Amino acid sequence: MSKEKSAKAASPVKKQRKAWWHGENFHGYIFMIPTLIGWPLFCAYPMIWSAYCAFCDWDGINSPKWAGLKNFKYILTIDPVFKKSLLITLEYALINVPIMLILGLALAMLLNKTIRGIKIFRVLYYLPVIIPSVATLVLWNFIFKQDTGILNVMLRSAGLKPVGWLTDEKIVLLSLSIIRWWTVGGTMMIFLSGLQSVPGDLYEAADLDGAGKWAQFRHITIPMITPILFLQLITGLIGGLQAFNEASIMTGGGPNYGSHFINYDIYQTAFGSSKYGRACAEAWILFIIIAILTMITFSKSEAYVYYENE
* Dihedral sign for Cα atoms in the order 262, 235, 131, 111: negative
The helix/strand/coil state of 260 is coil
pLDDT score of 308? 63
Taking 70 as the threshold, does the pLDDT of residue 14 lie above it? no
The pLDDT of residue 102: 95
51, 129, 198, 201, 208 from 204: Cα distances, Å: 56, 35, 12, 5, 6
* Residue-wise pLDDT tens digits, 143-164: 998 888 899 999 999 988 999 9
The rounded mean pLDDT for the chain is 88
Query: Mean per-residue pLDDT for 57-67?
Result: 92
C-alpha neighbours within 13 Å on the C-beta side of residue 14:
2
For the whole model, what pTM was predicted?
A: 0.84
Which CATH fold would you assign to the domain 66-130+183-303?
Answer: MetI-like fold (1.10.3720)
pLDDT in tens, 169-211: 999 999 999 999 999 999 999 999 999 988 888 888 988 888 8
What is the CB neighbour count within 10 angstroms for residue 288?
Answer: 10
User: What pLDDT sits at residue 113?
Assistant: 85
The pLDDT, as a whole number, for residue 40 is: 86
Q: Kindly list the domain boundaries of the chain, sorted by start residue.
A: 66-130+183-303
For residues 298-309, give the mean pLDDT. 79
